[in-house]
Amino acid sequence: MNGKSYRFTHAICREVSASATQGLRAVDIGAPDLAQFRADHADYVAVLRSTGAEVTVLPALEAFPDGVFVEDAAICLAEGAVVTRPGAPSRLGEAAAMAPVLEGFYEDVVWVEDGFIEGGDVLVTEREILVGTSARTDATGIATLTRLVARWGYALRVVETPPGVLHFKTDCALLDEETVLATPRLAASGCFEGYRVIHTGEGEEAAANVIRFNDLVVMPSGFARTQEAIEAAGYTVRPVGNSEAAKLDGGMSCLSLRFSPAG
């Protein structure tokens, strides 16, 4: 199917836990306001549902302050799902909590058992899977993932997440078969050669973490230049408030697993 890397029948999200105030953050600019975080999260889920997708919202996990960022716990492909091994010690258990949920959708669920890998470092495009090395994703994890997805015919390309950037997808997103949105600092590495690249607006690096979800591009609100650039390229944009998730270095991709299980 054309568009398999951005057309999805399903998504999984997780409610914001009260413990999210203790979530990991590179720079402490204060704890997220839970009421605002939950309101933004509800808007996000509603936007995904507006495309016709079936969105499962799991209950909050109080034991995992970063549990709302479900993307890091798994990699969902058409043929099967990979349960990851998050490199942040406080997040390791999130993957095991996600596994039974994935088993409800997929016959084939496999586990990364060596090294570390977080879903935020994995960009699935129509032609390949890009994986960024980062403080959370190491060479052993990438080798394990390479072996696991080879059974479904996927090729992996290893790229570098810019220094000081949490995840590869903190700085980029897929917009369609041939187009990515990327920060100029990431695009400068040459990792998107062969793709059409739309740059985030000046001073708007925090706008790079968007998702193409069916006919929509869901992006954090408040980034007019980037929104304009995406719209000028012909996409339909839905801005969603992200002020509270951003305090924990989270964005649009982190808040869901998106997939269309085969069969």
Draw the binding track, 107-146, toward ligand CIR (x: CB under 6 A; -: no contact). ------------xx--------------------------
Among 194, 187, 199, 181, smallest CA distance to 159 is for: 187
Which C-beta is closer to ligand CIR: that of 228 or that of 249?
Answer: 249
To the question of whether residue 24 is assigned a binding role by annotation, the answer is yes
Q: Least distance from C-beta 107 to ligand CIR, angstroms? A: 26
From the candidates 76, 172, 191, 254, which is the catalytic residue?
254
Residue 191 appears among annotated catalytic residues: no
Q: Least distance from C-beta 12 to ligand CIR, angstroms? A: 14
Q: Are 149 and 82 in contact (CB under 8 A)?
A: yes
Draw the binding track, 74-113, toward ligand CIR (x: CB under 6 A; -: no contact). --------------x--x----------------------
Which C-beta is closer to ligand CIR: that of 76 or that of 178?
Answer: 76
- 21-50 residues near ligand CIR, rule: CB under 6 A: 23-25
Which SS3 state, helix, strand or coil, does residue 58 take?
strand
Q: How many CB atoms lie within 10 A of CB 44?
A: 23
Residues 131/241/207/168 CA torsion (nearest 10 deg): -10
Residue 167 appears among annotated catalytic residues: yes
Q: For residue 170, which amino acid is it?
A: T
- 238-257 residues near ligand CIR, rule: CB under 6 A: 248-250, 253-254
DSSP state, residue 140: H
Place of tokens 């007019």: 224
Q: Are 183 and 172 in contact (CB under 8 A)?
A: yes
CA distance 113 to 70: 19
Beta strands at 54-58 and 10-14: parallel, antiparallel or unpaired: parallel
Tell me the window of 122-130, 166-174, 184-192, 219-227 that interacts with ligand CIR (CB under 6 A): 166-174
Which C-beta is closer to ligand CIR: that of 6 or that of 69?
Answer: 69
To the question of whether residue 174 is assigned a binding role by annotation, the answer is no
Among 248, 202, 200, smallest CA distance to 66 is for: 248
Tell me the window of 18-26, 32-40, 147-155, 171-179 that interacts with ligand CIR (CB under 6 A): 18-26
Q: Are 87 and 136 in contact (CB under 8 A)?
A: yes
Chain-centroid distance, C-alpha 68: 12
Residue positions annotated with a catalytic role = 167, 254
Return binding residues: 24, 66, 71-72, 91, 136, 248
Contact set with ligand CIR (CB under 6 A): 23-25, 66, 69, 71-72, 88, 91, 119-120, 166-167, 170, 248-250, 253-254
